[in-house]
Amino acid sequence: MSEDAKVVVIPCSGIGKALGKVSRTATYKVIEEKPKIARTLCLALLTVGDKGAGKLVSDTPCIAIDGCPNQCSAKNILASKGKLLAEVMVTDVLKKNRGLKPQGVIELNEDGLKLAGLVAKEVVDKINGMVE
Amino acid sequence: MALPTSEVGIISCSGEEIPEGTIALVATRLVLEKLRPDKTVTICLPLFLAGDKNERDFAKVFPTITVDGCEKRCAQIATSNLSGRPAYSIVVTDTAKKHPQVVLKSCERLTEDEMKIAEEVAEEIAAKVDAILKRRSAKTG
């Protein structure tokens, strides 16, 4: 993971729902596709007010990936005075792909992995728009 | 406020940057889904900041066990500062140290050896769940 990344992608990783796992898996897919541009950060570090994490999100554009309307990632970034460039809601991507039935938190099923791929594509498109 | 005696809250850091965070998440889910499904509940840690009073009261309503990936102990600190003092705190690196031959490297999908560590952490959590419920049961008679 690049320490000089141009964008920080932060998923909610919601532990109670498959859509949280989708947000997490999508983040790793984005980093795999954009290893020199994108990195992630432990969201919990923002929740505890870690200074290093706060500096990173205030110095670097962030993209939040949230699994549910609680918007934990976006809200924690904003509470840390971070630069929230964009937020991708997994539920919005799912609404556009109603045939998918994502399941699993320990491990996503096939539909969950497909959804994670679609979410990752939205994030990559936003990154491409940012760096072009 | 009446405290429930039948359920224990488990709060994982789920740290995205490190394999230990994924192990914390998986271990927590193993307890919720397989080891103690009727005795445990969870909450997303960042909800302590993003949520409302009901969510922040989680550790006041449930006795809690925090599960952290590393010594930064985000789950323990966030729970203590924003909700209530946890009954027990578990750190994945303490368990991983017992297996120096296993190099932790997977954030997305755990290897077989990493999954074994997650299962060991899950057993530790389950033992703490039992200890809490035994104490509560003794208190309530």
pLDDT digits (tens, 9 = 90+) for B101-120: 999 999 999 999 999 999 99
How much is the pLDDT for B4?
A: 56
Which of the pair, B6 or A106, is modelled with greater confidence? A106
pLDDT digits (tens, 9 = 90+) for B74-87: 999 999 999 999 99
How much is the pLDDT for A57?
A: 98
Per the structure, the complete domain to which residue B105 belongs is given by: 8-130
Per the structure, the complete domain to which residue A79 belongs is given by: 7-131
> What's the average model confidence in pLDDT over A67-73?
96
Q: Is A43 on the interface with B (CB under 8 A)?
A: yes
Structurally, chain A folds into a number of domains equal to 1
pLDDT digits (tens, 9 = 90+) for A76-118: 999 999 999 999 999 999 999 999 999 999 999 999 999 999 9
Structurally, chain B folds into a number of domains equal to 1
Q: Is residue B33 part of a domain?
A: yes
Q: Is A1 on the interface with B (CB under 8 A)?
A: yes
Cβ <8 Å between A106 and B45: no
Radius of gyration for the alpha carbons in chain A, expressed in angstroms and rounded: 14
Lowest mean pLDDT among A64-68, B21-25, B109-113, B133-137: B133-137
Is residue A3 scored above 80 in pLDDT? no
pLDDT bin (cut points 50, 70, 90) of residue B6 is confident
Instruction: Give ipTM to 2 decimals.
Output: 0.94
Q: Is residue A1 part of a domain?
A: no
How much is the pLDDT for A127?
A: 96
SS (H, E, C) B36-59: CCCCEEECCCCHHHHCCHHHHCHH
Whole-angstrom CA distances from A11 to A14, A69, A72, B131 are 8, 13, 9, 33
Cβ <8 Å between A47 and B43: no
Q: Is residue B63 part of a domain?
A: yes
